[in-house]
Structure formats: structure tokens, C-alpha cells
Amino acid sequence: MSRNQKPPVDPVILVMIGIVFIAVAIGLAVVQSGPNSGTIANDSGTMSQLLVAFVTGLTTGGLSCLAVQGGLLASSLAHQIEQDYVQQAAHHQPRKKSNVQTPARSNSAFPIFLFLVAKVVAYTLLGGLLGWLGSYLTLSPMTRAFLMIAIGIFMVGNALRMFNVHPIFRYFSIEPPKFITRYIRRTAKGTDTFTPIFLGALTVFIPCGITQAMMATALGTGSVVMGAALMFAFTLGTSPVFFVVAYLTTELGSRLEKFFMRFVAVVVLILGLVTMNGGLNILGSPLSLQNLARSLFPSNSGPAPVAQANQPAPVEGEVVLYVQNEGYFPQTLSAPAGKDFMLNLITDKTYSCARDFVIPALDFYELLPDTGNVQVSIPAQEKGSKLFFTCSMGMYTGQIVFE
Amino acid sequence: MIKKTFKVPDMTCTNCAMKLESLEDTLDGVKEINASYHKLLMVIEYDEAKLTEEQIIAAVKKKGYQAVSV
């Protein structure tokens, strides 16, 4: 992989690197200076969702997308690289061991930029469409749980594929139909601006695991504008990492690509496990990481809630759970066995997804008011049994132990 | 026209299959190439009067892969 010339710094690259830094800075600044002192939620919760989408894209989505969609991007650049190679070959004798095509000078920054712009536009439109569809069908927590577990398995399978653990994992990589790949290839003939734009738009047909999760979230918004905004924020977030990695891999060759692919595999593996764990939480499975930890370390009831001191003492036959931006307090509640009782859910300026309260075993799901008191009737349970509760994302969890 | 199958063990993703299929556009005498990342195989239908197995293997190598006739 020898290179004869050192490419001069392309102005487009400088601009893009600037955008990368600005995007990272904005991402960090917005998260840190979020309203409500330390929480990224705001009054409507909309900004919170958009920021989470952006940061998810910025931190992990780019790598995951690149693992799945890198092929399309490479296709859009392949012809240009091939042309460079052919031009070189026409002027020089073919060199030995030139098995990897690395152009001496290729202007890949601008096509990557166009590709990403097209991708952002296409996913924004897709988000709008999903939001519109979501307004007709609502995902129940159980559906979402199964979806998350399926996505998690897909991501873990893909990570194991990238690690080359077993040939069976190759089937986790979805091969686009031949007519699509052929059409894309035939389209990717020129180095004009149309090709990367068109191929960038085509990425909607091969979303990565994290993108699929975000698409499911867009579907769940049930709103055209929110769905579009969510996908826009996420795809915009993926763009800097996507650009840098794509640029480096196309410019610096396969050795670096292998390194990045291993890194991507680790990230995808972790995210896959986290997604599956979230799904298990929503199902109320005792096998989720949090529920297992609580079984192994029963004293873990979490820190005392801030607002607890100002609340009235619980009434007989009532169990109080504080629903806060950081989760549920206490995380482990005790309740008398063999008796019906009321679970009193208290929110106080709670804007995080903890408001989306789910008790999987009772098939109970309710979006709590940001400030208020909601009572849930819990039927009598056997002594020693546990009732798990969670937010609808499977992020915040807790349990009621019957004694 | 004959149809020949090659094992391409160093494909790492579906894009590798797409790259191999792009030989359709550059190799004279090729009618169709179907490459599968799942099976690590490339099936090529070509005119043996215009193209030899060695030329195919060389073209695949140029793409960065090793092809072994099955």
C-alpha cells in the first residue's frame, strides 16, 4: 500500500473538519447547558428527544451506519477511485502487489459531503413518513420490547459477523436485492454530483441497527413533524463521524479500515446488548441486567429522592413511588403480599421517559403528567413474588417485592 | 457461454459482493456475475472465447480479493 504522492489539503476537507468540531461542540454545549439544571429535558420533552437523537447519532450512530451503509458510499466513490487507478495504469506499468486500490490523489471529500447531505434529506423525509404512519398505528410497550430485542439481536449478530466469529453470522448482513445493487452500480458511473446524491438517498433502504431503532422511535412519535425532526437530528449527528471515518478509510486505505471496523464492531456489540437489555426490561424479564443485579444485591434500593421530604406520609394500603427525571425512587419497593393496594406514582417536574410508566406483568402503561399524582390499583400478589416496572424505553427500572 | 463458480474467502461484507459484481462492467466477455457474501461465492457467466479463468482470477485480485475456482 505504498503511496507515491502526498495529497494536498483539500479546502473541502478543512471545511468539513470545521463542521465536525462545531457539531461536536454544539452537541456537548447543548447537553451541558440543558434546562432544568443538569437534565437535558425541557418543558415539552421534544428538545430532549431531539438532543438524545443527535447525540446518539454523533456518538455511535455514525459508526454503526458506516458499518452497514459504507458499501453504498464506497460504491459512489468506487468509480472515481477506479478511474484514478485506470488513469495511473494507462501512464505507468502495472505494479506488482497492487491488490488494494488506493488512488494517489482522489477528491473524495466533496462526493462524501454530497452523499451525506442527500442522506440527511432522505432520512428526514423518511422520518416524516414514519411519523405519519405512526399516527395511525401506535406501538404498545410489548411490541416495542420485541422490536428492541430483535434490533438488539440484529446488532449483536452484526458485531459477531464483523469479528468473524462464525460463518452463520454472515446472514446478519442483509444483502440488497440484485436488481437494486445492479441499478446502483450502473448509476454510479460518473463523478458528477448526481451520483453521490442519489446513492446517499438510497441509504434509506439499508438502515443500520441504531438507525432502525431511531426509525422505530420516529414511528412512535405519531407526528410527521416530530418524526422528521427526530430523524433529521439523528442523521445530522451521524454525519461528522461518518464523514471522517469514510474519508480516512477511502484516503488511507484498508489497514485503517480494518482498525475502524473492529472499533465499530465493539461499539455495535455493546449497543446491541444495551438495546436487548432495554427490551428485556420492558418485558419485565428478571433476566435484564438491572433486575438480575437487584436479585443478587437486594439492598440496592437507590438514593433517596430529592422531593421525598416534602411529600405527605403514605396512607395505609398505599405504596408511594417517586418518578423523577433520573428514574424511580426507591428502586425497590416493599408491599404486603396477598392484599390489593394502591401504587401512588408521584411526579414533580418530571420530563424524562420515566414518565412513560410500564408494569409489564399487569399490562399497565400510562404516560404520567409531568407534575401530579396517579394511582394504580395493584391486585394481590403471592408472598415472595416480584413485580417489575420500567419506563417505556427500558432505561429506568424498579421492582415491588411482596412480603 | 459457460458458468463458473469461484470461492472468494476474503469477502468481509455485502459491499465486497457488489465490488465483485462490478466486474460485469469492466471485463470483456462477461454476461453476468452473481456474488454472495453469505456464501463467499462468485458465480460468473462468461464467453470462454473472450475470457479465461486466469484473467478472471487476476481481475478479482485487482479488486483486492483471492478467487479460487470451485
Residue A75: the pLDDT is 55
Query: Torsions phi, psi of B22, nearest 5?
Result: -70, -10
Using CB atoms, pick whichever of A75, A171, A178 lies closest to residue B34. A178
Q: Chain B within 8 Å of A261 (Cβ-Cβ)?
A: yes
Model pLDDT for residues A317-372, shown as the tens digit of each residue: 789 999 998 889 999 999 998 889 999 999 998 877 788 899 999 989 888 888 99
For residue A376, the SS3 value is: strand
Chain A residues 85-114 with a CB less than 8 Å from chain B: 98-101
Chain B CB contacts of A74 below 8 Å = 15, 19
Q: What distance in Å separates the CA atoms of residue A257 and residue A260, rounded to the nearest whole number? A: 5
What nine digits make up the cell of A66? 458506516
CA distance B48 to chain A (A): 23
Using CB atoms, pick whichever of B38, B61, B62 lies closest to residue A170. B38
What nine digits make up the cell of A364? 399497565
Model pLDDT for residues B1-41, shown as the tens digit of each residue: 899 999 999 888 777 888 898 898 889 999 999 999 999 99
Question: A207 and A219 in contact (C-beta within 8 Å)?
Answer: no
Which is nearest to A68 in space by CA: A283, A216, A267?
A: A267
Residue A112: the pLDDT is 78
Rounded to the nearest 10°, the torsion over CA A276, A278, A283, A285 is 80
Candidates B12, B42, B60, B61: best to mutate against A (most CBs of A within 10 A) is: B12
Q: What distance in Å separates the CA atoms of residue A217 and residue A372, rounded to the nearest whole number? A: 26
CA distance B38 to chain A (A): 5
Residue A54: the pLDDT is 87
Chain B interface residues (partner A, CB cutoff 8 A): 12-15, 17-19, 21-22, 24-26, 34, 36-38, 40, 61-64
Residue A301: the pLDDT is 53
Query: Torsions phi, psi of A270, nearest 5?
Result: -65, -45
For residue A233, the SS3 value is: helix
DSSP state of A371: S
Note whether B14 contacts A176, CB cutoff 8 Å. Answer: yes
What nine digits make up the cell of A341? 393496594
Chain A residue with Cα closest to B11: A170
Note whether A75 contacts B18, CB cutoff 8 Å. Answer: yes
For residue B67, the SS3 value is: coil
Using CB atoms, pick whichever of B12, B17, B62 lies closest to residue A175. B17
Q: Which residues of chain A have pLDDT under 70?
A: 1-46, 60, 63-64, 67-108, 137-139, 184-195, 206-210, 246, 248-260, 264, 299-315
The model's pTM: 0.64
Q: Chain B within 8 Å of A75 (Cβ-Cβ)?
A: yes
CA distance B49 to chain A (A): 25
Residue A161 is inside which H or E element, if any?
helix A141-162
Question: B56 and B67 in contact (C-beta within 8 Å)?
Answer: yes
Question: A207 and A126 in contact (C-beta within 8 Å)?
Answer: no
Q: Cis before residue A330, ω within 30 degrees of 0?
A: yes
Chain A CB contacts of B64 below 8 Å = 99-101, 254
- Can you say whether the dihedral through the CA atoms of A42, A47, A53, A58 is positive or negative? negative
CA atoms within 13 A on the CB side of A186: 6
Query: Torsions phi, psi of A207, nearest 5?
Result: -70, 145
Note whether B18 contacts A99, CB cutoff 8 Å. Answer: no
CA distance A98 to chain B (A): 7
Model pLDDT for residues A369-384, shown as the tens digit of each residue: 889 999 999 999 999 8
Residue A128: the pLDDT is 93
What nine digits make up the cell of A215? 426509525
Pairing of strands A332-335, A341-347: unpaired
Note whether B62 contacts A261, CB cutoff 8 Å. Answer: no
Q: DSSP secondary structure string, A264-333?
A: HHHHHHHHHHHHHHHHHHHHT-TTSHHHHHHHHSTT---PPPSGGGGSPPPPTTEEEEEEETTEEESSEE
Using CB atoms, pick whichever of A82, A170, A185 lies closest to residue B37. A170
Q: DSSP secondary structure string, A321-369?
A: EEEETTEEESSEEEE-TTS-EEEEEEESS--SGGGEEEEGGGTEEEE--
Question: A273 and A139 in contact (C-beta within 8 Å)?
Answer: no
| Chain-centroid distance, C-alpha A189 | 33
Residue A20: the pLDDT is 55
Residue A99: the pLDDT is 43
Q: DSSP secondary structure string, B2-58?
A: EEEEEE-TT--SHHHHHHHHTHHHHSTTEEEEEEETTTTEEEEEE-TTT--HHHHHH
Between these two residues, B67 and A351, which has the higher pLDDT value? B67
Beta bridge partners of A319: A343
Which is nearest to A287 in space by CA: A299, A300, A273?
A: A273
What nine digits make up the cell of B63? 479488486
Residue A183: the pLDDT is 73
CA distance A173 to chain B (A): 7
In degrees, rounded to 5, the angle at the alpha carbon of residue A153 between the alpha carbons of residues A58 and A180 is 75
- Can you say whether the dihedral through the CA atoms of A7, A185, A111, B37 is positive or negative? negative
Note whether B22 contacts A186, CB cutoff 8 Å. Answer: no
Using CB atoms, pick whichever of B13, B24, B63 lies closest to residue A173. B13
What nine digits make up the cell of A338? 396477598
Residue A401: the pLDDT is 92
Residue B16: the pLDDT is 83
At A9, the amino acid letter reads V
Chain B CB contacts of A261 below 8 Å = 12
Residue A29: the pLDDT is 47
